[in-house]
Amino acid sequence: MRYLTVALAKGRLAAKAMEMFEKIGLSCEEMKDENTRKLIFTDETTKMRYFLSKPSDVPTYVEYGAADLGIVGKDTILEEGRKLFEVLDLNVGKCRMCVCGPAEAADRLKHHELIRVATKYPGIATDYFFNKKKQTVEIIKLNGSVELAPIVGLSEVIVDIVETGATLRENGLEVLEEICPLSARMIVNQVSMKMEQERISSIIKDMRGIIR
Ligand code: PRP
């Protein structure tokens, strides 16, 4: 039996995903050592391998078949637009993709003014404004702490993830429009889905059984 390889988005999501894998009998002892510098972890009993990567790289590994399965946020799946199957909503890491800004920006949004939109998600922002809203805007790509942009005058609004809303509140910003709900998803390589159909379907079925 060959190894099935799972790519996990580094961070909170990976820990939650491994808890879920453990619950369905796919534990990986090697991965529990917090001091390890290893990049890939193998479980011989279940013939599974797991590795952590930057979230935005998870769909890439899965599209090319370097990983058969992946666990990653819907935000990353939408932004990367890779060819793969999204098979399961894990119902964890729930949050929303939103257009946010100071309350005064609401009118400028409504009147379709040529505003600037700062975001870590230029693909999602472009699709939302240009395709869905038919609104021309200037998209500015940032790499983090996007809430700073409207505060210092880089942009009128931002497109970003809102979880508790605390970051917005503490910085005098609010949700102006909701783009879509987000959560962690399981993704599968399109060839693996056929070649390893039995094992992968059984993982999906078992996971579905423990999802709240
Ligand atoms: C994310 C997101 C918001 C924040 C939202 O940032 O970009 O900044 O979390 O969470 P809240 O609604 O609970 O306050 P992350 O911590 O991933 O870092 P980043 O600023 O580098 O994007």
SS3 of the chain: CCCEEEEEECCHHHHHHHHHHHHCCCCCHHHHCCCCCCCEEEECCCCEEEEEECHHHHHHHHHCCCCCEEEEEHHHHHHHCCCCEEEEECCCCCEEEEEEECCCHHHHHHCCCCCEEEECCHHHHHHHHHHHCCCCCEEEECCCCCCHHHHHCCCCEEEEEECCCHHHHHCCCEEEEEEEEECEEEEECHHHHHHCHHHHHHHHHHHHHHCC
Over 80: is that where the pLDDT of 41 sits? yes
Q: Closest residue (by CA) to atom 16 of ligand 1?
A: 145
Domains of the chain in start order, with CATH, are 4-93+183-211 (3.40.190.10), 95-181 (3.40.190.10)
Instruction: Specify the pLDDT at position 189.
Output: 98
Instruction: Specify the pLDDT at position 112.
Output: 86
The rounded mean pLDDT for the chain is 96
Residues 106-133 have a mean pLDDT of 95
Instruction: Specify the pLDDT at position 88.
Output: 98
Instruction: Specify the pLDDT at position 178.
Output: 98
Over 90: is that where the pLDDT of 21 sits? yes
Ligand 1 cavity residues, CB under 6 Å:
120, 144-147, 160-167
Q: Closest residue (by CA) to atom 21 of ligand 1?
A: 144
pLDDT tier at 151 (50, 70, 90 boundaries)? Answer: very high
Residues 83-103 have a mean pLDDT of 97
With pLDDT > 70 as the criterion, what percentage of the chain qualifies?
Answer: 100
Q: Closest residue (by CA) to atom 5 of ligand 1?
A: 162
